[in-house]
Structure 1
């Protein structure tokens, strides 16, 4: 069935471009009023489709919709506005007129990507335009007005982790995240266990390791005397076992920037715990990975077979 999207920008091609409108040369006078009224219908259909009045169905991340315009195929420039029924929690597809589900995409500074959690908020109208070139030329809907919450929203990655008895924590499949934030509270009972952070570009098959991969330094602390803190000569990055008692007790916050970018990855670390002198010390450590690579796995671990006797860990991320 025809729709306004079948009309041509070349006037001569519009004689029979729409099955309910007849603008042929020499048409009967009695067909003129019918064609004029049909054109009014098509215009109203288009106004409805861009006016967010059509009901939507499906789920938060798999939206369905019956447009007022009876199109039966997608074409470049096809424009729809819908009023969201739910907050999206991840990537979203839109299936209009049962033509087929296509990804809703957005454009960021780093390129075209799937929408992320918070880009679509219940009750708000969203405008999408179809382009066959989107999503690696498989076709998709470009979201014109993503909500601001989805542009920089932190989301928790997986559940809160109980660290009891663990020697390391590892998160894979993180290629969607440009920023990571790890919150740790733990107690390690085995002396000599050095805590460290590592990143991987092959989902944890191998990890960066050693001072040759990183530069890092202790920016400031409230302890009177600190030795071996954040020096590039250590084998693990950033290593801060010497900041605490032999049985490590710590509250650690780590924020990583440019994690999935082909550029140096930056670490900002704030760690707090009892120093070997018995005082509570707080340290600010800055680090960056020398090599430029896009990462997709992150690990926090202890060396020398040390284990976490207790604690928990929460990893959050910002997509982009």
Structure 2
């Protein structure tokens, strides 16, 4: 997306919704440039991290038909793309700085879609204090695709990791779980969503950046692939097991209204972008204070059963799930 963007953009025709490649960079993306992006006028960005800080990097992509629906608003697609990456940084305790963006759009994509997409980027750049470093753009005959590589900073050695949970740690989770998965069902007409809160949650997650949890947690992960599966990632990294009490998993009013038939989808559907914390139970009060206005719920405990995640009902009986979470393959 810098001045040297190439790679077959617009199939070599130099046009896209009436705009050439460099025209749309100048109109829609150059105004979003971080100072490190040099106005998107060069081949690469130049960023000098602040002294005494380590750089944290993450990358995520969104593909039409896989991560978003064809009729999702373009501004929401852009914001969710940024927020998925922001959530990865949040799970490491990093402060976000900027990002690289790649897009592959169909040649007949309306200019209004591009304007909406850029508007969504602009809105979340302002909200989260980040800027565009640069990127690349191409055309595609297939589904629309966009990818963000995001950069943040953290004190060296202070990044939160997945591998620190120990048997006896409590499992905490921020926010509510399952709204995004139920929102997808609502968007497909499978579930009532009268106030559209479930669909809104699917489109616009809330990455938990800026929580000061240092010294209080042993391990952290964000819930992207499903609560059960992501708790399982913590277990495998640490060589322990976990018990999740389904009745304790926080749900919004709309998710509760969906009823018990949707419990498995809530626990395994993913796309929540909340944080799961492994921490001593004795730290609960301090964790709540550190989370401030972000809700925090204790939902279970890590055990010495090697990598086994058990979900129990209110009577302590195991709930058998047909899957643990989302997987692409």
Instruction: Point out the structure with the larger strand share.
Output: 1
Higher Cα Rg, which structure: 1
- Kindly indicate whether structure 1 or structure 2 has the higher relative contact order, using CA contacts under 8 Å at least 6 residues apart: 2
Instruction: Point out the structure with the larger helix share.
Output: 2
Q: Give the alignment's TM-score, normalised by structure 1.
A: 0.24
